[in-house]
Chain A
Amino acid sequence: MANNQQLWARRRVLATGGAVSAATIAGCIGGNGDDDGNGDDEVADISEYQHDREEPDDEEAARQSELEFLQPADPDEDYDPVVSFDSYSMQVANLVFDGLYEWDDELNLEPKIADGMPEEEDDGETYFFDIQEGIEFHNGDEVTASDVAHSFTAPVEEETQNAATYGMIESAEPVDDYQLEVTLEHPYGPFTMSTMAVPVVPEAVRTEDTEAFNTDPVGSGPFQFAEFQPGEYVELERWDDYWDEPQPYVQRIRFEAAPDDANRVAQVLAGDTDVIDTVPATEWDEVDGADGVRIHGSRSPSYMYLAFNCNEGETTDPDVRRAVGHSFSMREFVNEHLGPAADPLSSPIPEVTNESGGWEFPMDEWEDEMPEYDPDQAQELLEGAGVPDDWEPRIIAPEGGPREQLAERIGSRLSEIGYGADVQGMSFATLVDTYNTGNVDDYEMYLLGWTGGPDPDVYYYNLFHESQAGVGQGHFYEGEGDFHDNILNARESADQDERRDLYVDVTEEIIEYLPVLPAYSEHNTMAAREEVKDLHAHPSVSYNPRIVSDYQNTWIDE
């Protein structure tokens, strides 16, 4: 069955990969660096890096602003949202295209091209979207329902990498120029929280030459394509006939990639660029203390986790998994190694997902139920489970980042209670090949990350449902009772209360049996010169830098 909101998830996973790989070298940030397991438990708050709104004294001067933005990875340079599959191309495309709906700074979905929320029929199988009249693409054509229909169906018809995102749509038919009827194959919970945020492309221009459109796109957004040098940079310029308010101040914006962390940081410190995406945790203090530079941060729906092999080996026993959870302190680790760049997690749902989706999950209760640092309890559980004295589980993690450091931390804590660990940092390519074999010789634990959005399905279905065993997850947890049915039923229901209850059951089972130990959520961050005003980090990396929205209008004060 094709489905879902993976477009966003994929982009975010890539972005998170960038963010995580950003923190390449071991470093102690914001903590006392001691290794006794009793470090400071106070978690730094990213909200300190969310700055108040700012208004220019001279609007005309603000409208002369030109901004350069450095991305932390090379984009695939696919700027057609039907094709685009990476966050960094979408950072550009999201300024060129408007969505049917868009996420605000708290990941709430709000209408953009759509005129209000859709009318829902057939228990969530049919949706009627009204389109605002008078919105124009950059070429002067009016945005109509058939453009929106094309935006929904083209990824599947053309079998682009985004096909899975819209695969549950059976048909998208214009009722007239300003109304669209979308029918789903079955009710699909994530549709209203994720899929509806489709960027709208002009059907006529795009289908005329899809290849040309990919590198010279036409949208209805606040910026239009100005110049593109493959492998070098892409420049956008303000669209002065933009249909929505506010009108952007920034006149021109240039995107370049700077994958080397030290280089990216050096460029913003030296004033050679205006904004950099992703402040590496290892460089946080240096950037934070630098004159003339501000960090901008936002919580993100990223989710890092430690997963156990429930297929083979000692970790098939839930007591062993709980013992590992008691053997170290996650909070202490996050404080020491990530500081303000991340929050510890106690469920597969990041806080921002819980809040933006209005799920009201009992996060505090879940936090209380998570195993705390208690080496005696860990030792007792391992002895009780009959784990041999020479147990040395293999822990695999992406090399060179905080996840490898976490694996090493767990290893050293296990050795303190008489066991050990064979920690193996691997290239991401090797890890992808290894973490889901289910073979105890390959791993007994692995560390990976995932990123979704305001809908929990992307976390639960991909990372826990049995259909994804050996594909998106390698813990092979079989579940108790209705575990897998609950995950499936939650995605095929359009009733949020029902879905919430199902997810609560699933999460409580995860916390009780611990096929996975939630680790931390890494924030989205940018560092900008102080002259860059009214910049706000968005939880979705592909919406950064958002430049203009109802909560910001960025400019450079020169």
Chain B
Amino acid sequence: MGLLRYTTYRFIQAIPVLIGISILTFILANLTPGDPVRLMVQGQEVTPEQIERIEAQYGLDRPLHERYLDYMAGLVQGDMGYSFHRNRSVSELIASRIGPTLLLILSAYVFALITSIPLGILAAKRRNEPFDHVSRIIALIGVSTPSFWIGIMLILIFAVQLGWLPSAGLVYPWWSPEVYGHSGYLEHFYQTIRYLLLPMVALGTLQMATLMRVERTQMIESLQGEYVKLARAYGVPERTILRKHAFQVAQLPIITIVGLNLSTALGGAVLTEFVFNINGLGRLFYEAIIQLDYQLIMGITMVIATMFVIGVIITDIAYAYIDPRVTYGEAE
């Protein structure tokens, strides 16, 4: 199977997965205790008849399977429904909130990759030396500390105590500098980085810690590989061995982990957005759940699930592309 066919095949495979997720989410959201209409009209004088009328207006009085089929029929036509809590279309709401989340996750990954790989290599090279021990402790703390707590600590230190960085919000690079009153693109870029720094570190620390340890292990393994020994025997300089031979092989698991950790990153983004007051998809998702806004819950879940599935597919394809030993599913 060629790469193109494999890619197509993987995308087709994703369809039943997404349908399964949609069914599960629809059932779970609708079975969650609580009545969205009653929640919406809390505090207003309403009669049971009025509640029934509102339920009928939004189709909440119809059987679950009918509502689901209606929803899916709309979805394939690009209609993600209407958030009756917010008086806005779901796609409009998601479109307005997805940018900050993607920016946050992307920057967290960039932070994690540019820190974890050199640190992992260094730890491997200095195995069982003090640097390795320190990096192990850092990794342990990074893996076991929730991102929101790291976020709160960062705010307390760098925003409240030192006053170096802003405690909340984001400067969107896709908005023009005039919106923020910035003098030009240079200041705009600088402010974007300033605002991004703390949430990026908060969200990226877990990824960084995980990747650093994987990188270290892989590098140690690679450095002990036969081909490295052979290269050494041929007198290939150590720097070249590290860069050309050991390093390349060691990156394969990193790609897998980066792809699979996307769900963790999305989960972490929800809390990070809350702590840093970022108006992203995560915060919208949280609010939708609190308000039992079914349509919005469904819409965001589908978007997140699609992002995750695509992430996994890209990982698989990248893996297959980079490592010639990985086949595209043909019988051997």
Contacts and interface: CB of A to CB of B under 8 A. Distances in A.
A150 B273 CA distance: 42
A342 B192 CA distance: 40
Interface string A252-279: 0000111110111011011110000000
Interface stretch (A25-33, A44-52, A423-431): A423-431
Nearest to B271: A260
Interface string B159-186: 1100100111100000000010000000
A432 interface: yes
B274 A260 contact: yes
Contact of A433 (B35, B41, B284): B35
B43 to A, nearest CB: 4
B140 interface: no
B258 interface: no
B45 A6 contact: yes
A451 B179 CA distance: 38
A6 B43 contact: yes
A78 interface: yes
A451 B42 CA distance: 11
Interface stretch (A9-17, A380-388, A405-413, A505-513): A9-17
Nearest to A268: B167
B45 A472 contact: yes
B277 interface: yes
A462 interface: yes
A266 B155 contact: yes
B44 A6 contact: yes
A432 B38 CA distance: 7
A272 B167 contact: yes
A482 B42 CA distance: 27
B10 interface: no
A230 B38 CA distance: 26
A14 B42 CA distance: 8
Contact of A429 (B33, B97, B156): B33
Contact of B45 (A74, A77, A232, A462): A462
Given A6-B44, A471-B48, A429 B290 contact: yes
Contacts of B39: 428-429, 432
A229 B170 CA distance: 14
Contacts of B46: 164, 471
B43 A260 contact: no
A76 interface: yes
A41 B80 CA distance: 55
B45 A3 contact: yes
Interface in B123-167: 152, 155-156, 159-160, 163, 166-167
A242 B292 CA distance: 42
Nearest to B47: A471
A263 B279 contact: no
A256 B159 CA distance: 19
Given A78-B87, A428-B290, A433-B35, A262 B45 contact: no
B45 A270 contact: no
Interface bracket on B: 35 or more
Contacts of A472: 45
B311 interface: no
A161 interface: yes
Contact of B42 (A13, A76, A259, A264): A13
A554 interface: no
Nearest to A214: B87
A461 B45 CA distance: 9
A10 B34 contact: no
Contacts of B70: none
Nearest to A430: B33
Contacts of A433: 33-35, 38
Interface bracket on A: 35 or more
Given A74-B287, A266-B168, A164 B44 contact: yes
A256 B47 CA distance: 35
Interface string A209-233: 0000000000000000000011110
Nearest to A470: B48
Interface in B37-88: 38-39, 41-48, 85-88
Contacts of A272: 159, 166-169
Contact of B276 (A3, A230, A263, A270): A263
Contacts of A267: 167-168, 277
A231 B34 contact: no
Contacts of B283: 259
Contact of B167 (A14, A230, A266, A461): A266
A14 B43 CA distance: 8
Contacts of B88: 230
Contacts of B48: 470-471
Contacts of B166: 270, 272
B86 A76 contact: yes
B290 A10 contact: no
Nearest to A262: B152
Contacts of A74: 287
Interface in A422-474: 426-434, 450-451, 461-462, 468, 470-472
Given A10-B43, A429-B32, A271 B277 contact: no
A110 B156 CA distance: 44
B315 to A, nearest CB: 31
A231 B167 contact: no
A269 B44 CA distance: 37
B13 interface: no
14 contacts: A6-B44, A10-B43, A74-B287, A231-B279, A231-B284, A232-B279, A259-B283, A266-B155, A266-B159, A270-B166, A428-B290, A429-B290, A471-B48, A472-B45
Given A161-B41, A164-B46, A272-B167, 15 more contacts: A10-B43, A164-B45, A230-B88, A231-B93, A259-B277, A267-B277, A269-B160, A270-B160, A271-B163, A428-B34, A429-B32, A431-B34, A432-B34, A432-B39, A433-B33
Interface of A: 3-4, 6, 9-10, 12-14, 74, 76-78, 161, 164, 229-232, 256-260, 262-264, 266-267, 269-272, 426-434, 450-451, 461-462, 468, 470-472
